[in-house]
């Protein structure tokens, strides 16, 4: 099946096939590691994850490179304020970032490239530009890219820069979004600031040159797809194109993939609005990692997602419904006959699921196909009419579904416990919701021991004690379910 995806560069939906006929090469802008990741960041990383998982489901080999921006103005400012070396400062947030990716079941890229490890590549690229008169050195020792020397400037963001003023410069990492000014490739150090000694003179790289240099190092001068959040389209990606294509005279990335920004309760997320959430904030409030993942990918990447707590509660229920369904399928006694109508429905759902994802990653329609099948299969099970072949085909489809959505395996309690342990280490226990503390006060082994004691009490007909144990566990957020196969428990 061919995957079709919107390309920001051409403003068209296009087929995505590896340029080299073998491996689809993706570069995705990674985090600037100066703080913990927020749910907006993760919306973008999760949709890149969906993209690579859909390609893999489709049998396409993927080589995915992600950078870590571990030096920039904010990092230098914050590390200086904290009185620690830059590396010590960034390492903590980089580690947290990868923990968060694991919590959200995001597959790791094939290559993770740190900016500070690729200074020579960046210096060489700037030298290549200088040889063509497209990079120049200013009085203070910083190097700039000459935008007027790249007539295609603006082709990605579709902004009109016909009135570019040659030589107007911007030297901070936090660019304004409307003007095209010559941007810094290499920044001379301010007094007391950390720098690298290089052939360009002392300094550190600008943000844009990082991505061009590392993308080319690991993917070649021309590759398939470049990804990031919509805010990066201008100036970051526009500048990457200008630098790279000026240096190589080749198309840099053929396909540009941008994820629309997340809103929270209908507004732009910001600390001053009080609607700013990191992943860790949500876990400590008692929300499940699987539900957060499911919500963040529920709306297709080009549409606005409005994050709300009601929405998150609904997703928690949705994940639960799927998990309960999977368990039911596994334990049901099959009927002797195939349920023909359900078999036809399974074929239909399977086609709808794959077509939706292949059609510009329509995650909403893909999951709707699965939920409709769940409804019909539950009805067939209620009627005792589901056959062995029905079950195995539905299980296969659920497995494919989970290769992309990755929410069926229940590791939620484990991730919440990890977040709680982190909060404890960081002295943030005041941010933990009381029910989370209560839920997590018992380990699995302790719960099993209580259940064993309750079983023992029931065998000796000490029902008062058995009931007391059930009540005590419930107060700690543990629900017991008695079934024919014995006692099952789950955390509330």
Instruction: Find the part of the chain contacting ligand AMP (CB under 6 A) among 16-24, 107-115, 257-265, 480-488.
Output: 257-265
Residue closest to ligand AMP, measured at CB: 229
Instruction: Find the part of the chain contacting ligand AMP (CB under 6 A) among 35-43, 191-199, 329-337, 360-368.
Output: 35-43
Assess 109 for contact with ligand AMP (CB under 6 A): no
Assess 390 for contact with ligand AMP (CB under 6 A): no
Q: Which does 142 bind (CB under 5 to 8 A by kind): ligand AMP, Zn ion, none?
A: none
User: Of these, 3, 29, 420, 442, which contacts ligand AMP (CB under 6 A)?
Assistant: 29
Q: Which does 43 bind (CB under 5 to 8 A by kind): ligand AMP, Zn ion, none?
A: ligand AMP
Instruction: Find the part of the chain contacting ligand AMP (CB under 6 A) among 98-106, 223-231, 388-396, 438-446.
Output: 223-231
Minimum distance from CB of 211 to Zn ion (Å)?
3
Instruction: Find the part of the chain contacting ligand AMP (CB under 6 A) among 229-237, 313-321, 357-365, 415-423.
Output: 229-237
Class of residue 283 by CB neighbours under 10 A (exposed 0-12, middle 13-18, buried 19+):
buried
Which H, E and C letters describe the chain, residue by residue? CCEEEEECCCCEEEEECCCCCCEEEEEECCCECCCCCEHHHHHHHHHHHHHHHHHHHCCCEEEEEEEEECCCHHHHHHHHHHCCCHHHHHHHHHHHHHHHHHHCCCCCCCEEEEHHHCHHHHHHHHHHHHHCCCEEECCCCCEEECHHHCCCCCCCCCCCCCCCCCCCEECCCCCCCCCCCEEEEEECCCCCCCCEEECCEEEEECHHHHHHHHHHHHHCCCEEEEEEEHHHHHHHHHHHHHHHHHHHCCCCEEEEEEECCEEECCEECCCCCCCCCEHHHHHHCCCCHHHHHHHHHHCCCCCCEEECHHHHHHHHHHHHHHHHHHHHHHHCCCECCCCHHHHHHHHHHHHHHHHHHHECCCHHHHHHHHHHHHHHHHHHHHCCCCEHHHHHHHHHHHHHHHHHHCCCCCCHHHHHHHHHHHHHHCCCHHHCCHHHHHHCCCCHHHHHHHHHHHHHHHHCCCHHHHHHHHHHHHHCCEEEEEECCEEEEEEC
ω into residue 74 within 30 of 0, thus cis? no
Minimum distance from CB of 453 to Zn ion (Å)?
56
Minimum distance from CB of 220 to ligand AMP (Å)?
22
Considering the complex, state which of residue 147 and residue 211 has its C-beta at the smaller distance from Zn ion. 211
Minimum distance from CB of 296 to Zn ion (Å)?
21
Instruction: Find the part of the chain contacting ligand AMP (CB under 6 A) among 11-19, 224-232, 309-317, 327-335.
Output: 224-232
Considering the complex, state which of residue 272 and residue 483 has its C-beta at the smaller distance from ligand AMP. 272
Q: Which does 211 bind (CB under 5 to 8 A by kind): Zn ion, ligand AMP, none?
A: Zn ion
Assess 43 for contact with ligand AMP (CB under 6 A): yes
Residues of this chain that bind Zn ion (CB under 5 A): 29, 211
Assess 231 for contact with ligand AMP (CB under 6 A): yes
Minimum distance from CB of 96 to Zn ion (Å)?
20
Assess 489 for contact with ligand AMP (CB under 6 A): no
Gap between the Cα atoms of 398 and 413, Å rounded = 22
User: Of these, 109, 203, 229, 300, which contacts ligand AMP (CB under 6 A)?
Assistant: 229
Instruction: Find the part of the chain contacting ligand AMP (CB under 6 A) among 120-128, 142-150, 155-163, 227-235.
Output: 227-235
User: Of these, 109, 149, 203, 228, which contacts ligand AMP (CB under 6 A)?
Assistant: 228
User: Of these, 65, 225, 269, 349, which contacts ligand AMP (CB under 6 A)?
Assistant: 269
Considering the complex, state which of residue 217 and residue 260 has its C-beta at the smaller distance from ligand AMP. 260
Considering the complex, state which of residue 134 and residue 262 has its C-beta at the smaller distance from ligand AMP. 262
Q: Which does 269 bind (CB under 5 to 8 A by kind): Zn ion, ligand AMP, none?
A: ligand AMP
Residue 423 CA from chain centroid, whole number: 22
Minimum distance from CB of 262 to ligand AMP (Å)?
4
Assess 261 for contact with ligand AMP (CB under 6 A): yes
62: left (phi over 0), alpha (psi -120 to 50) or beta: beta
Gap between the Cα atoms of 302 and 122, Å rounded = 32
Contact residues toward ligand AMP (CB under 6 A) are: 29, 31-32, 40-41, 43-44, 228-229, 231-232, 259, 261-262, 269
């Amino acid at each position: 099946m061919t995957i079709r995806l919107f390309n920001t560069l051409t403003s068209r939906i296009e087929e995505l096939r590896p340029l080299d006929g073998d491996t689809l090469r993706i570069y995705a802008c990674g985090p600037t590691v100066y703080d913990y990741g927020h749910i907006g960041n993760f919306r973008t990383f999760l949709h890149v994850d969906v993209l690579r998982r859909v390609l893999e489901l489709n049998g396409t080999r993927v080589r995915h490179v992600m950078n870590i921006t571990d030096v920039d103005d904010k990092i230098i400012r914050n590390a200086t304020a904290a009185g620690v070396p830059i590396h010590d400062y960034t390492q903590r947030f980089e580690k947290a970032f990868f923990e968060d990716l694991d919590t959200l079941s995001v597959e790791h890229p094939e290559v993770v490239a740190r900016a500070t490890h690729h200074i020579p590549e960046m210096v060489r690229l700037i030298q290549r530009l200088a040889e063509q008169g497209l990079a120049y050195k200013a009085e203070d020792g910083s190097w700039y890219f000459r935008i007027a020397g790249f007539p295609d400037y603006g082709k990605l963001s579709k902004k009109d820069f016909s009135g570019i003023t040659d030589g107007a410069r911007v030297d901070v990492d936090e660019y304004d979004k409307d003007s095209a000014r010559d941007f810094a490739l290499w920044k001379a150090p301010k007094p007391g600031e950390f720098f690298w000694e290089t052939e360009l003179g002392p300094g550190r790289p600008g943000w844009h040159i990082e991505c061009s240099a590392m993308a080319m190092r690991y993917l070649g001068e021309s590759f398939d797809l470049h990804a990031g959040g919509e805010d990066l389209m201008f100036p970051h990606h526009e500048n990457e194109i200008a630098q790279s294509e000026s240096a190589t005279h080749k198309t840099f990335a053929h396909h540009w993939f941008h994820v629309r920004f997340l809103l929270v309760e209908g507004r732009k997320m910001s600390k001053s609005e009080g609607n700013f959430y990191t992943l860790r904030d949500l876990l400590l409030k008692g929300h499940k990692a699987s539900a957060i993942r499911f919500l963040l990918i529920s709306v297709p990447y080009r549409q606005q997602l409005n994050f709300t707590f009601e929405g998150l509660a609904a997703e928690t229920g949705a994940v639960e419904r799927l998990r309960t369904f999977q368990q039911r399928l596994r334990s049901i006694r099959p009927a002797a006959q195939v349920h023909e109508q359900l078999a036809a429905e399974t074929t239909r759902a399977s086609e709808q699921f794959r077509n939706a994802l292949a059609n510009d990653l329509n995650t909403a329609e893909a999951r709707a196909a699965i939920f409709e099948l769940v409804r019909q299969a539950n009805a067939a099970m209620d009627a005792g009419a589901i056959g062995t072949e029905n079950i195995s085909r539905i299980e296969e489809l659920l497995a494919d579904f989970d290769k992309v959505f990755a929410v069926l395996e229940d590791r939620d309690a484990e991730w919440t416990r990890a977040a709680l342990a982190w909060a404890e280490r960081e002295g943030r226990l005041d941010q933990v919701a009381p029910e989370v503390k209560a839920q997590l006060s018992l380990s699995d082994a302790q719960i099993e021991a209580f259940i064993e004691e309750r079983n023992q009490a029931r065998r000796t007909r000490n029902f008062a004690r058995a009931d007391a144990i059930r009540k005590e566990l419930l107060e700690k957020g543990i629900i017991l379910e008695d079934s024919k196969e014995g006692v099952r428990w789950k955390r509330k």
